[in-house]
Structure formats: C-alpha cells, structure tokens
Structure 1
C-alpha cells in the first residue's frame, strides 16, 4: 500500500545534468535485491563521493539543507536508459515524491507512477527557472494537476486519469483492482442469479 498523494509543499533539490539515466540513479551493482527499503543510500551513488571515497560536499544530496526536500528538479531527458524499477524505488526511499523535468523517459515515468513517485513535465522555460533557483518552495496539487511557484504562478502538467486516481487513493494497479472486488462480486452474484441472461451473453460472445 502506497501513501496517498494529494498535495505536497516542499523545497526543491536540483540536479542540472541532462540525460540522467537509470544507471546513474541506481548503479547496476545495487540491483541484486528486490527490497525497496535501503536503496535510497545508493541513489546517485557514483556522484556522491570524491576520488578518496569521502562524501562530496558539493553534491546536492550530501547537503544538509536538502535533507527534507521532496521534489527533485532535473535537466532534460531524466530517467533514460534501462527500464529498472529500482530507479524509482531508490528515489522514493531517498524521500522524494516528485520529479520535475522538461522531458522524462516514458518507461521511467510508467515505473515511477506505479510506485507513488510523481513525474512532472513542464515547459523548458519553467524548468530552466527552477534549475536556476534551487531550494525554492513549490506546491503540488495532484487533483488539479498543477504546480504553484512562490510568486503564485501556476502551471499544469499532464497526468492520465487512472494514474491520478491511483496516486490520490494511495494504491498501485493491483491495489486499484482489489478495491473493485466488492463490485465484481456483486456483478457475479447478479449474473449467477439470472442464468438465462448469462447464457445469452455467452452465446453472443461465442459468435
């Protein structure tokens, strides 16, 4: 069960790089587990350390000021590369709930939505402004499909209805289907109580 995602107000953490692929998000050597918990410490692993192995103080996720940030703003073509679901697992375990970019790879976007991570695509000019102003506070409204900047400007983003419903209800695809179980059982009970109608429907499908 995922946590319901209705609104979020958070500071941003910024990675200006373009074409951040899934191997940079979570290197392949950390894919030996099917456990989601604990992957956050390996997110962007190869960018976090200096050549001597010590933490790089310049890397945004090593900075204390960004510890509470829940929104990542990244350069164009975020999440490209392989389809590993570990990438959104690592980001959510890191504490992120949304990623904003001017382009997000389709497979990563699909995996993110299945795991409660909201991929937001905004126009280049808006993303460039966010990249130039790290740490500003944004307000995300999933129901309205909108992002609001501190000065009140509001921008909408694309989000299909099914993915939006799953986020708002805090369920994945399987969880959504399981929530429909009572309705399915009622339908089956009504069908079984009317065998003539059931036989007619079966005959129609057989044609």
Structure 2
C-alpha cells in the first residue's frame, strides 16, 4: 500500500469513527473493544431453557452488568444501532444449538403503536432483522400486533404480568390473510417469567399457527 493510500485510509477512518454508546470512547464499530469484551462475558454457557416451559427458549446472555446497560441504552436512550451486534451474537449462538432449523419464520414481539411512535422503533424488530441477516431466516415484522397498551412488566409480579398481557396481542397484517406454512420463532430482547412468550404463542396458536419457540438476547433468570 502506498503512503498516499495509507494517508487517505487514515483520514477515512478518522471520519468514520463514532462513539461507543456505553462508554463514549472512540470506535469504528458499534462498541469499543473494552465494552465488547465485557458484553461477551455476559454470554451464557448453557443458553437453552426448555425445562418446565411450554416453549423451547433460547437466550444469549445474562441480564446483568454491561449487557443490562446495553439493552437499557437500546430501549431508552435512542441507541438503535446496539440491536445489530446483539442480534448477530444471538444468531451465531443459536445456529450452533440443537434448536437451530431453517424451517421457521421469525416474528418479533411487537410494541403498541403509541410506544413505538414515542421510541421511534421496536427494539425486538431490530434484533430480529440482524438475527435474520445472519441466519438467512425469513422475517415477518407484522406477524403479531399489540392491540393493548400494557404497563411496563419489570415491576410486576408473575401473576400481574399474566393479567397485564391478557388480550394484549392479536394477529398482525402479515398473517391475517396468509397463514404461514412453517412454524413461528418469536424474538424478544429480554426473557423473564415467560408471560410474554406464552401469551404471544397462544395468540398465534389459536389461529392455527404453530410456534416452535422463542429466542431472546438476555434472561433475568439465574443460570449459566
């Protein structure tokens, strides 16, 4: 490489650099190297959760530390770019699991229209986009619709979560007239008690649509 070419490349790298959304260090990727390492430490050793669950659940990491901070920034600090690496990491881990299959359609858990308008995007849909870009799976963003503006789940008990989600979902426009021939794989950012997964799956199953499981970035349930 000539000196002139190296100088041009150096200038391009300077202009292309951005700030890490978690620590504000300069970086030319979504996260700086240090934050990437901290996030990778949150990855679970055994990501599959299927015991005593109505659906197979696959989660990438533990909802704590830097991963908790990243998801909070994604959802509440207008940092949609965070969804891309998280979705890719989830996809790569899922592809190596016994649950991986090409015979599914990916559907993100939807936000209510008012909340999505306020936030500007649905974080689960962004995660699903990068997940599908890595796995090659088909994405149906509007397979489900949230018709009820539910209360935030994190302060609710398991019973209150079920009540809060009662009647929350209905079939989305993608599936209203054309039922999928393959089962659905749900995508969300956080898996806690499983209430969201159960209610979303039941909504689809009542319409004759099979659901094979859910994948999520993080779980608050203790395991490794």
Fold equivalence (TM over 0.5): no
Larger RCO: 1 or 2 (CA < 8 Å, sep 6+): 1
Q: Which structure's CA Rg is the greater one?
A: 1
The TM-score normalised by the length of structure 2 is 0.27
The TM-score normalised by the length of structure 1 is 0.28
